[in-house]
């Protein structure tokens, strides 16, 4: 095919330009020599050859080298003109860097949560996690969850069709390396042996455990460690395989090291893997209870499987759903979840059917906001470039007159903005790296990340966005200014009286204003939400509450009876110490956990409660005083009565169980319907138990040390300190605890610390959206200022005439500010409309405030207008103060 020859020729000239040039020169020289010989006239030959340089250039222009030449010329031109106006260039680069950088930062977080496959795995697309939809009765709506019981896993594996293709795992946390509390603490993932083979992993050193070693019932004390863990905590010892390491109280043999870069399949890094059978306490979790492998109550197992070629996932889901419902019926009887649904979903956890967690919602909304900021930044840049192009009108007109094609001119101007954008993208990547890490650590604090924040995805995304911005920001002014109006432009047209109001520029300013209003409204809404959340009555008075506890070295905790007595003793002694107001004891920290007891009241049993099940806590009588819960009726209970027992209920329980009358004095009988009466002595306020924004559930409080609560140690001290005496109280607590438990480490916490993570998403949301809102405001400020400044600069002549004719300062100010503000006002109107349309998207992140809150809108609009007035005032002032003679005379 001849066109292939043509192609080959073209490529050859591009790949070897030197050879092309040399050959052409030689050929033309030979041509001339031959001609000279033929005509016997060397000078004539020279003449007949013509202008060799032009011919050479024309020949070169007929090859593909033309594009390289053009590109080099255009880039050189772009570079020179960038250097000529450093101020505007700097503003453009900074604006773009901020816009692109913010996007890259949020994208890196989103990428990590939603888009990145776990590293180091073969064909992650072929792996599916198994989810179940629970239709539990209870106050929680239907929800999707991954954890299942071991019998349920077996059912799933059967339904998959090839049980060996499904792996099962469960994790336990907090194993200290070296057996002391000072050692590095990490979780262990107990898995079936096919975990490694299904993921396509090969050990970096040693081997993985086998099927035989990981069977339930076989206890193989061996582990595989991650490459990172091996390097960081085992010293990168090249002889680690076969050595034993101590994790808490047990020794494990290191079988192998996982390949570098593999840190599990979740966002949180997995550091140690052990055979499933080695799960501590699996065989007899409580005395007399069935083992974890047989019981349906321990929903702690996660499963994933590899899809076979030609396998139909819908079939699996149907089979598994049917099998699961049957299994539930068999195990749980009448209370079984017979509406359970099974789903197979992506290996990336965030893409599963579970409702998005708050962090994920914030991350996605933040990305939307970042995109808006980018649009504002780009609009800004277009405006700056338009303004700059106005100054170069004459130069462009000359080029057009000389015959440059319009396409070439557009390309020329666009290349300039692309170069600027690429420069900005370097700065943006740095912003992204720093910002992305910051965002990650704030949004998902405490996570030990499996993957680094920066990834090729982010770099590519940044470059693509920068390129797109550069092209768009350059094409618009380029197209506008390449329209030939030669005569007007060649002459110096600044003297003409025409208004240089560009509709495009005004439109861009209005657009910026509109988007800024949206962001400011968002910021106001989030601040208000935070205020509301912080104002919620959580039922406790969280100021001045300290927790005291001790931590023993693994395996060194003394027997329970001694612990209880010592704790009570410590509490007694603490009561008389300075700085201490109230001391109480409890089994668990408030909001950390609860227990379920079966009880009977009136003629009903707790089994009949389907919607709300009261949760129980074991506490000492001073608990309510210590935590600031108010007794609405009655009194707290007495401690340690052998005969009658007493309890306190909260408002919600009182309403649930005795909706008609007074709960005080009523009876609850625990465990059997003819058990002795436990009298309700008081009703206490509702206290939050999990999510601050959720309605507190029914709860009741039992005294420590009775027959019902004998299993609970009550070793936690809850201390209310006197005003300003926190430090004193802390010291006293540490001293007494050390005295009582010399081998243990006292741990002092506070309720405010405990509450902090609950408020954090709200605080974070407010901070982030406010930060972005302020950023957008700044960018809009710069945009409005520069647009007005350039406009005023162009009309210097006009203003000079006005002032010379007697216009006063006030008149000029009025005119300029009025013009500017009118445009911004239009933008604000548009922004209000946009806000109404899009506010639904953030509704789920707000609390106690409607997305269309009027006061927030008013606040945002007025802030922006104020900023606009300030921005237009400065150039207006300068225009008014300019010397009219200069303006009239000048260029």
Q: What angle do CA 315, 319, 322 make, to 5 degrees?
A: 140
The binder of other proteins chosen from 7, 162, 212, 486 (CB under 8 A): 7
- Report, in Å, the least distance between residue 886 CB and other proteins: 51
Q: Is residue 4 at the binding interface for other proteins, with CB under 8 A as the rule?
A: yes
The binder of other proteins chosen from 26, 251, 753, 883 (CB under 8 A): 26
Q: How many other C-beta atoms lie within 10 A of the C-beta of residue 335?
A: 11
- Specify the stretch interacting with other proteins by CB under 8 A; choose among 4-12, 114-122, 653-661, 719-727: 4-12
- DSSP H helices, 199-263, are 227-233
d(CA 761, CA 195): 34
The binder of other proteins chosen from 10, 573, 738, 758 (CB under 8 A): 10
Measured from the CB atom, the residue of 4 and 456 that comes closer to other proteins is 4
CA end-to-end span of the chain: 62
The backbone torsions φ and ψ at residue 183, rounded to the nearest 5 degrees and listed phi first, read -70, 160
| Contacting other proteins within 27-86 (CB under 8 A) | 27-28, 30-32, 34-35, 38, 48-52, 54-56, 58-59, 61-64
Measured from the CB atom, the residue of 22 and 638 that comes closer to other proteins is 22
Beta strands 615-619 and 699-703 are: parallel
Measured from the CB atom, the residue of 2 and 608 that comes closer to other proteins is 2
Measured from the CB atom, the residue of 35 and 754 that comes closer to other proteins is 35
Q: Is residue 314 at the binding interface for other proteins, with CB under 8 A as the rule?
A: no
Measured from the CB atom, the residue of 59 and 531 that comes closer to other proteins is 59
Nearest to 882 by CA among 794, 803, 791: 803
Residue 159 corresponds to which tokens in the numbers above?
A: 């339904």
- Report, in Å, the least distance between residue 11 CB and other proteins: 10
Measured from the CB atom, the residue of 4 and 561 that comes closer to other proteins is 4
Cα of 465 vs its chain's centroid, Å: 20
Q: Residue 84 contacts by C-beta under 8 Å, 6 or more apart in sequence?
A: none
- Report, in Å, the least distance between residue 405 CB and other proteins: 17
From residue 233 to residue 252, the character string flagging contacts with other proteins as x (rule: CB under 8 A) and all else as - is --------------------
- Report, in Å, the least distance between residue 485 CB and other proteins: 31
- Report, in Å, the least distance between residue 40 CB and other proteins: 15
d(CA 118, CA 268): 10
The binder of other proteins chosen from 24, 375, 821, 841 (CB under 8 A): 24
Measured from the CB atom, the residue of 20 and 877 that comes closer to other proteins is 20
Beta strands 599-601 and 667-670 are: antiparallel
Measured from the CB atom, the residue of 59 and 767 that comes closer to other proteins is 59
Beta strands 631-634 and 678-684 are: antiparallel
Element (H, E) at 667: strand 667-670
Q: Residue 748 contacts by C-beta under 8 Å, 6 or more apart in sequence?
A: 546, 547, 548, 730, 733, 734
d(CA 391, CA 413): 13
Measured from the CB atom, the residue of 50 and 235 that comes closer to other proteins is 50
Distances (CA, A) of 164 to 91, 192, 274: 61, 10, 18
The binder of other proteins chosen from 15, 19, 22, 23 (CB under 8 A): 23
| Contacting other proteins within 75-134 (CB under 8 A) | none
- Which letter does DSSP use for residue 177 in this model? B
d(CA 797, CA 795): 5
d(CA 195, CA 258): 12
Measured from the CB atom, the residue of 26 and 332 that comes closer to other proteins is 26
Residue with tokens 């052998």: 642
CB-based contacts of 602-611 (< 8 A; 24+ apart in sequence)? 602/657, 602/658, 602/666, 605/673, 609/656, 610/137, 610/138, 611/137, 611/138, 611/139
| Contacting other proteins within 817-846 (CB under 8 A) | none
- Report, in Å, the least distance between residue 43 CB and other proteins: 14
Measured from the CB atom, the residue of 34 and 182 that comes closer to other proteins is 34
The binder of other proteins chosen from 2, 40, 238, 608 (CB under 8 A): 2
The backbone torsions φ and ψ at residue 853, rounded to the nearest 5 degrees and listed phi first, read -60, 125
Measured from the CB atom, the residue of 6 and 690 that comes closer to other proteins is 6
The backbone torsions φ and ψ at residue 132, rounded to the nearest 5 degrees and listed phi first, read -130, 140
- Report, in Å, the least distance between residue 475 CB and other proteins: 30
Distances (CA, A) of 117 to 121, 126, 201, 447: 8, 11, 15, 18
- Report, in Å, the least distance between residue 104 CB and other proteins: 42
- Report, in Å, the least distance between residue 51 CB and other proteins: 7
- Specify the stretch interacting with other proteins by CB under 8 A; choose among 23-31, 162-170, 510-518, 780-788: 23-31
- Report, in Å, the least distance between residue 68 CB and other proteins: 15
Nearest to 362 by CA among 829, 868, 885, 762: 762
Task: State the number of CA atoms in the 13 A half-sphere of 828 facing the CB.
Answer: 21
Task: State the number of CA atoms in the 13 A half-sphere of 386 facing the CB.
Answer: 29
Measured from the CB atom, the residue of 36 and 807 that comes closer to other proteins is 36
Whether the CA torsion 443, 449, 454, 457 is positive or negative: it is negative
Measured from the CB atom, the residue of 7 and 707 that comes closer to other proteins is 7
- Report, in Å, the least distance between residue 38 CB and other proteins: 8
- Report, in Å, the least distance between residue 69 CB and other proteins: 14
| Contacting other proteins within 319-378 (CB under 8 A) | none
| Contacting other proteins within 166-195 (CB under 8 A) | none
Measured from the CB atom, the residue of 10 and 319 that comes closer to other proteins is 10
Give buried/exposed letters for 266-299 (b at 16+ CB in 10 A, else e).
bbbbbbbbbbbbbbeebeeeeeeeeebbeebebe
Q: Is residue 725 at the binding interface for other proteins, with CB under 8 A as the rule?
A: no
- Report, in Å, the least distance between residue 15 CB and other proteins: 14
Measured from the CB atom, the residue of 48 and 329 that comes closer to other proteins is 48
- Report, in Å, the least distance between residue 17 CB and other proteins: 13
Measured from the CB atom, the residue of 60 and 306 that comes closer to other proteins is 60
If phi > 0 it is left, if psi is from -120 to 50 it is alpha, else beta; for residue 539 that is left
- Report, in Å, the least distance between residue 87 CB and other proteins: 45
- Specify the stretch interacting with other proteins by CB under 8 A; choose among 2-10, 131-139, 219-227, 323-331: 2-10
Q: How many other C-beta atoms lie within 10 A of the C-beta of residue 471?
A: 16
- Report, in Å, the least distance between residue 3 CB and other proteins: 4
Residue 187 corresponds to which tokens in the numbers above?
A: 């979780």
- Report, in Å, the least distance between residue 52 CB and other proteins: 6
- Report, in Å, the least distance between residue 36 CB and other proteins: 11
Count of residues that interact with other proteins, criterion CB under 8 A: 34
Measured from the CB atom, the residue of 31 and 491 that comes closer to other proteins is 31
CB 234 within 8 A of CB 240: yes
Distances (CA, A) of 7 to 17, 60, 867: 15, 16, 59
Residues found near other proteins in the complex (CB under 8 A): 1-7, 9-10, 23-24, 26-28, 30-32, 34-35, 38, 48-52, 54-56, 58-59, 61-64
């Amino acid at each position: 095919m001849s066109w292939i020859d043509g192609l080959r020729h073209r490529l050859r000239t591009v790949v070897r330009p030197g050879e092309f040039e040399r050959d052409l020169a030689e050929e033309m020289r030979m041509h001339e020599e031959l001609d000279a010989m033929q005509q016997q006239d060397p000078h004539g030959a020279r003449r007949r050859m013509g202008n060799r340089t032009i011919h050479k250039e024309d020949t070169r222009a007929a090859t593909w080298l033309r594009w390289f030449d053009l590109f080099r010329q255009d880039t050189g031109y772009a570079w020179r003109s960038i250097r000529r106006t450093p101020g505007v260039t700097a503003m453009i680069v900074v604006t773009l860097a901020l816009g692109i950088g913010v996007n890259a930062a949020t994208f890196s977080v989103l990428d990590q949560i939603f888009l990145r496959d776990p590293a180091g795995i073969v064909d992650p697309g072929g792996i599916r996690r198994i989810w179940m939809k629970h239709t539990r009765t209870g106050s929680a709506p239907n929800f999707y969850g991954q954890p299942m019981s071991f019998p349920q896993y077996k059912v799933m594996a059967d339904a998959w069709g090839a049980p060996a293709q499904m792996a099962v795992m469960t994790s336990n946390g907090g194993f200290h390396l070296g057996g002391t509390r000072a050692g590095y603490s990490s979780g262990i993932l107990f898995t079936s042996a096919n975990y490694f083979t299904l993921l396509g992993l090969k050990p970096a050193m040693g081997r993985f455990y086998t099927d035989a070693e990981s069977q339930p019932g076989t206890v193989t004390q061996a582990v595989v460690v991650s490459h990172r863990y091996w390097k960081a905590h085992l010293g990168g010892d090249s002889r680690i395989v076969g050595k034993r390491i101590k994790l808490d109280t047990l020794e494990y043999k290191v079988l192998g090291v996982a390949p570098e870069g593999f840190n599990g399949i979740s966002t949180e890094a997995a550091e140690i893997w052990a055979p499933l059978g080695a799960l501590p306490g699996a065989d007899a979790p409580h005395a007399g209870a069935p083992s974890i492998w047989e019981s349906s109550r321990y929903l702690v197992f996660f499963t994933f499987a590899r899809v076979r070629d030609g396998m139909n996932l819908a079939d699996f889901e149907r089979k598994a759903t049917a099998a699961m419902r049957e299994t539930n019926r068999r195990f749980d009887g009448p209370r079984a979840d017979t509406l359970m649904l099974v789903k197979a979903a992506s290996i990336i956890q965030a893409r599963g059917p579970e409702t998005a967690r708050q962090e994920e919602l914030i991350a996605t909304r933040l990305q939307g906001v970042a995109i808006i900021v980018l649009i504002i930044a780009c609009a800004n840049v277009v405006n700056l470039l338009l303004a700059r192009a106005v100054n170069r009108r004459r130069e462009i007109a000359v080029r057009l007159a000389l015959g440059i094609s319009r396409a070439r001119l557009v390309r020329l101007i666009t290349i300039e903005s692309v170069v600027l954008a690429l420069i900005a993208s370097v700065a943006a990547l740095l912003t992204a790296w720093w910002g992305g890490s910051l965002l990650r650590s704030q949004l998902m604090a405490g996570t030990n990340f499996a993957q680094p924040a920066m990834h090729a995805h982010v770099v590519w995304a940044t470059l693509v966005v920068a390129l797109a911005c550069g092209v768009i920001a350059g094409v618009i002014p380029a197209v506008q200014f390449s329209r030939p109006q030669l005569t007007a432009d060649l002459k110096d047209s600044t003297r003409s009286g025409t208004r240089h109001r560009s509709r495009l520029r005004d439109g861009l300013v209005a657009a910026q204003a509109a988007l800024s209003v949206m962001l400011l409204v968002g910021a106001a809404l989030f601040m208000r939400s935070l205020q509301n959340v912080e104002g919620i009555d959580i039922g406790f008075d969280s100021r001045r509450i300290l927790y005291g506890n001790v931590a023993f070295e693994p395996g060194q905790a003394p027997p329970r009876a001694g612990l209880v007595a010592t704790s009570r003793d410590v509490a007694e002694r603490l009561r008389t110490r300075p700085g201490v107001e109230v001391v109480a004891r409890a089994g668990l920290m408030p909001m950390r956990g609860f227990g379920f007891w079966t009880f009977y009241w009136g003629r009903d049993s707790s089994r009949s409660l389907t919607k709300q099940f009261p949760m129980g806590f074991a506490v000492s009588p001073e608990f309510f005083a210590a935590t600031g819960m108010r007794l609405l009726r009655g009194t707290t209970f007495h401690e340690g009565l052998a005969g009658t027992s007493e309890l306190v209920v909260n408002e919600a329980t009182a309403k649930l169980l005795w909706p008609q009358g007074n709960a005080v004095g009523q009876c609850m009988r625990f465990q059997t319907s003819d058990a002795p009466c436990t009298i309700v002595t008081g009703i206490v306020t509702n206290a939050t138990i999990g999510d601050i924004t959720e309605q507190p559930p029914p709860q009741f409080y039992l005294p420590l040390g009775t027959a019902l609560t004998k299993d609970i140690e009550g070793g936690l001290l809850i201390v209310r300190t006197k005003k300003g005496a926190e430090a004193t109280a802390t010291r006293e607590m540490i001293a007494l605890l050390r005295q009582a438990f010399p081998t243990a480490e006292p741990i002092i916490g506070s309720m405010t610390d405990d509450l902090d993570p609950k408020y954090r998403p709200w605080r974070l949301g407010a901070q982030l959206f406010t930060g972005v809102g302020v950023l957008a405001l700044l960018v809009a400020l710069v945009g409005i200022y520069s647009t007005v400044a350039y406009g005023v600069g162009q009309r210097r002549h006009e203003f000079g005439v006005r002032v010379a004719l007697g216009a006063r300062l006030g008149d000029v100010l009025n005119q300029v500010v009025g013009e500017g503000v009118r445009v911004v006002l239009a933008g604000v109107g548009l922004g209000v409309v946009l806000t109404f349309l899009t506010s639904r998207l953030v509704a789920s992140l707000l609390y106690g405030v409607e997305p269309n809150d009027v006061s927030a809108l008013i606040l945002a609009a007025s802030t922006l207008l104020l900023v606009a007035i300030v921005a237009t005032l400065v150039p207006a002032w300068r225009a008014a103060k300019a010397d009219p003679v200069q303006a009239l005379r000048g260029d």
